[in-house]
Chains A and B, each alone.
Chain A
Amino acid sequence: MSHDPTFWILARASGLTAYVLLTLSVLAGIVVKSRPFGSRVRQVVAIDTHRTFAALGLGALAIHATALVLDKTVRMPVQALFIPGLSSYRPYSVSIGVLTAELIVIVYASFSLRKRIGFKNWRRLHWATYGLFVGGTAHGLLSGTDSRRTWALAIYLGAIASVAAATTWRTLAPLTEGEQDVPSRYRQ
């Protein structure tokens, strides 16, 4: 009986989809904080976009993990999804993916717990997202079987360039540009 590639294709597609969606969430998060578009993007829209991309990214991540377990191309026991080092397939880079995914879930859940854990701790935890982007990129490039394809490299390079550019903007630009949201007749 021939090997059914459905789950293998789904695992690869959902992995890249999760990477793209979570990258978009990182970018939207930087827009929330540094407001490069001024009043053209309302703050509430930027926040909703940031959270929606994060939720969609987590959904794609869940599909990625489930498809890897159901697929027979690489052997991925359920416990290997949660405990780093149990995957026989590219164990180091898969471990990076496991740890990154677990931290992504923690950062996402921390939004609802931010009053309980304290706002400062919540914001400190959010700084981890830069490391998670690096972790996700490393996991994708080193674990993904499509990484050497031109289109896949274009996705990774596009994500790295956009996050690097947005981070540079955030570093160099003033913290907020809220003045532009104030109606002109009320400006000081």
Chain B
Amino acid sequence: MFRVDIDSDLCSGFAACVDVAPEIFKLDDSGTATLLVPETDDKRALKAAADCPMAAIAVFDAESGERVV
């Protein structure tokens, strides 16, 4: 299980995360990425974090708290 964190100050609305994992991320009215689920076991969250052009997404192992991406 992964815990996903979005730095909304860094997010610049590229929507790369939404392209990769639309079940986990969406853009709010201002164009900032928000989470649809706080935790997920969907590994696309990892790719979304790695793909973010602003490095605004962090993914942690929900059990250990270790940062994965």
Which of B31, B44, B47, B68 is in CB contact (< 8 Å) with A119?
B31
Q: Which residues of B contact A39 (CB under 8 A)?
A: 50
Q: Which of A56-64, A164-172, A175-183 contacts B (4 or more CB under 8 A)?
A: A175-183
Interface centre among A114, A115, A179, A183, by most B CB within 10 Å?
A115
CB closest chain-B residue, reference A33: B53
In Å, the complex CA distance between A183 and B47 comes to 10
Complex contact A120–B13 (CB within 8 A): yes
| A123 contact set on B, CB distance < 8 A | 12, 14
The B interface is mostly helix, strand or loop, or mixed, namely loop
Q: Nearest-CB distance from A42 to chain B (Å)?
A: 7
Bound-state CA distance A47–B47 (Å) is 18
CA gap between A101 and B50 in the complex, in Å: 34
Q: Do A47 and B55 touch across chains, with their CB atoms under 8 A apart? A: yes
In the docked arrangement, what's the CA distance between A32 and B51, Å? 10
The 8 Å CB contact of B46, one of A32, A115, A176, A186, is: A186
Seen from chain B, the residues whose Cβ lies within 8 Å of a Cβ on chain A are 12-14, 16, 30-32, 43-44, 46-47, 49-55, 68-69
